[in-house]
Structure 1
């Protein structure tokens, strides 16, 4: 066996990068993303895989195991790209044999003997000392508080226990994105992004629904308020979000409008002292437990105004029952309500991602005080842009959540493989299992290292495109990794007796929320790549 080396890996990924750039230019010159959706989708994912591989190269220089995992990942990424283009070279605008220069490297990087030799070696993360402390702190919390109850929450569709919320609050988990001047820990530096990525992964390793997604709620509203809130609104809400005195949920999606936010129908009409909200929101995660909703509503009745007709509101609400709630406002409540306004929440049952619960929430003349319309007069019609700022970090965080779920599944699979004896040997000693474990570990580490790289870019005010790419690639990878972990468990993987089945159904949601995979690939990644090629 000739082991692959990093120089060959770098050359191979450069060839793959050039191929993808040629395809992007071809797409931009001969068609449009909307007309050539299959090509655009494949190119978007190919570009994301290549970007992940290139981000892995620095990691590969830090040790022998790191180099091996880097080569293993890049070999798989190029082989996957080859599958996309084989027989479709003309559609991609490339020459047959465009990947021939990578053949020798890919053969070595995918050699079963080489891959099996790396089995069980996931590689260090190479975090700075400060972030190692963050990792250790949140891992211990996840081990002590989240993992012991994660299965019960999932099996019984229960609520997140209040001691998890209060425990995270005491650790400052909800204050990570809130600026220091408002009672948080955010300093506006790289550490804000890296700390959030590291903490999110560890909490998601404990549970996606009961841990990893919990600290994203305050961040979304925090960033929206930072982008457009008045100083009074920041002083009112940010300290409460940092301390978890107020837990927030997001009410943007509607039954007929998910990614197409411009068409939303929920309205907010002026009334004495504020606004009356009418309409239905859906997929409002954590909507019952939340003390306030970040709600996007149409304030300009002229629907042709699209994005420009939307405004953002902070909507206070009572805490409701997880199995459904209904509230009626009393006259004078919530800053001068005329009385009679109603809010009704219906839970949406899901196959995974349990604990936070998602709701369809109907509003019937629900009063919101004028001071809770984000940005005041200057914020009217700018709600779309404020909510986009709120979701700015969401895609990167979702990638970190995916890494945490993958890591948990990998650890379970590795331990099971070592313990399970079949035909007189632990299945961890079989070559096929060893190759599976190595490919899983390489994928997880590449996803993690790309997430770190994107976090550093976003700290500089860059990386929006890369955040979309990491989300697209990593969330699809999580489905494969958790499926392989399940398969290694055999029949027990399909049983609810082992947590690996939870990781599998939890991973499925990752390519759906925070930008559905198809919309993200077509409307964001492919469109921006094509626009850049035309420029």
Structure 2
């Protein structure tokens, strides 16, 4: 169902993006999955055509558009595959907004224009080997030393970790702060900084073309001017921006469910068993009806939340609901769709197999289902 806030201008933006993806992404995506890499040339083509960071102000090279255009970017990239969408959407609508919201004029001028063109790829480093959802428990620390911070620690599961030109690192600048989250700050670490090392590129079950890595910081000298916002306010900044991050993920998994259902509808119409189309069996029809109903509910909800988010409303509770429910729903859809494909669904040449592999992590990253339920409970009991 088309969102009511979408206009002809949105349709033109989507059509232009689709044409570009038909030419530059769809024919190569399986190769990228095999090579486990999205080439930088593709990022540059996205930037060249104005699709990266469309919300950035024109003075920094953007188009000055609202989040609805980011919604379109997320949806169309996800239709190609989550391995493509994950890193690009993170760069465009999760990392870069921190620079725009909390950066100085100098920081914005330094990082945003080249992020818009695709010359710079960004990442955000939160998770550590011993700290995931518990951000207050991070061990990565930065000690002020004159005009620098000396940064030490390790991060893992970092999207865009291998190719990032700059990384927003979540670290402790006051290890004695009580409560602990008041000691968290955000530092921008540049590629090539002495002591900044990339660990191994992680070998994931799915999302093979997506770049996920370990990052290591050993006495990295980070210029004090690379402090993002105020010292000790990092946790508050993260909480403010996680609303949009979780909305982006909800949009991604919603598209995954929609694509998997359409793949399955096409398959059961063509495949025959016992002299009839699989689509003619009552069990198949009931399964399709159940999935279509849940998918429509997800679409209506995520469209509503997108509009509220565009209007600046606080929808932390609702976005948490969408993130957990739609990601769990998409996992159910993936299992049912694979089943309806029969043995062919287990073959790699069928797209449903890749989508099935890719979907599992969506209920884990950007906040697990359990964390989302905890946020919701806290909101309704407060």
Confirm or deny a common fold (TM above 0.5). yes
Could you tell me which of 23, 29, 35 is aligned with 1:144?
Answer: 23
Cα distance, 1:185–1:464 mapped onto 2, change above 3 Å: farther
- Deviation of 1:514 after TM superposition, in Å, equals 0.7
Show the counterpart of 1:240: 114
Show the counterpart of 2:43: 165
Task: Map 1:477-492; keep pairs closer than 5 Å.
Answer: 477-492=329-344
Show the counterpart of 1:455: 306
- SS for the counterpart of 2:132 is coil
**Equivalents in 2 of 1:530, 1:225: separation in Å?**
34
**Equivalents in 1 of 2:261, 2:207: separation in Å?**
19
Indicate the larger mover: 286-295 or 129-138. 129-138
Show the counterpart of 1:354: 208
- Deviation of 1:173 after TM superposition, in Å, equals 2.0
Residues 1:250 and 2:124 are matched in the alignment: yes
**Equivalents in 1 of 2:267, 2:86: separation in Å?**
24
Show the counterpart of 2:296: 445
Cα distance, 1:249–1:388 mapped onto 2, change above 3 Å: same
Show the counterpart of 1:299: 173
TM-score by length of 1: 0.67
Could you tell me which of 270, 276, 280 is aligned with 2:144?
Answer: 270
- Deviation of 1:209 after TM superposition, in Å, equals 1.0
Cα distance, 1:353–1:260 mapped onto 2, change above 3 Å: same
- SS for the counterpart of 2:200 is strand
Larger Rg: 1
Task: Map 1:396-475; keep pairs closer than 5 Å.
Answer: 396-462=247-313, 463-475=315-327
Show the counterpart of 1:176: 54
Query: Which one has more relative contact order, counting CA pairs under 8 Å at least 6 apart?
Result: 1
- Deviation of 1:179 after TM superposition, in Å, equals 2.5
- SS for the counterpart of 1:250 is strand
Show the counterpart of 2:10: 131
**Equivalents in 1 of 2:32, 2:82: separation in Å?**
11
Residues 1:210 and 2:84 are matched in the alignment: yes
**Equivalents in 2 of 1:407, 1:148: separation in Å?**
21
Cα distance, 1:250–1:228 mapped onto 2, change above 3 Å: same
1:247-306 per-residue CA deviation (whole Å, 9 max, x = no partner) reads 101111111111111111101112343111111111111111111101111111315341
8 A contact 2:3–2:303 mirrored in 1:
no
**Equivalents in 2 of 1:477, 1:219: separation in Å?**
24
Cα distance, 1:211–1:140 mapped onto 2, change above 3 Å: farther
- SS for the counterpart of 1:288 is coil
- SS for the counterpart of 2:64 is coil
Cα distance, 1:471–1:363 mapped onto 2, change above 3 Å: same
TM-score by length of 2: 0.93
Cα distance, 1:418–1:143 mapped onto 2, change above 3 Å: farther
**Equivalents in 2 of 1:244, 1:283: separation in Å?**
22
- Deviation of 1:136 after TM superposition, in Å, equals 2.6
**Equivalents in 2 of 1:513, 1:140: separation in Å?**
30
Cα distance, 1:141–1:442 mapped onto 2, change above 3 Å: farther
Show the counterpart of 2:381: 530
1:315-348 per-residue CA deviation (whole Å, 9 max, x = no partner) reads 1114xxxxxxxxx72xxxxxxxxxxx34242222
- Deviation of 1:199 after TM superposition, in Å, equals 2.2
> Once superposed, what is the RMSD of the aligned Cα atoms?
2.0
Q: What runs of 5+ residues in structure 1 fail to find an aligned partner?
A: 1-122, 319-327, 330-340
- SS for the counterpart of 2:151 is strand
- SS for the counterpart of 2:243 is coil
8 A contact 1:312–1:387 mirrored in 2:
no
- SS for the counterpart of 2:171 is strand
Indicate the larger mover: 288-297 or 128-137. 128-137
Show the counterpart of 2:223: 369
**Equivalents in 1 of 2:292, 2:162: separation in Å?**
37
- SS for the counterpart of 1:393 is helix
8 A contact 2:44–2:119 mirrored in 1:
no
8 A contact 1:177–1:222 mirrored in 2:
no
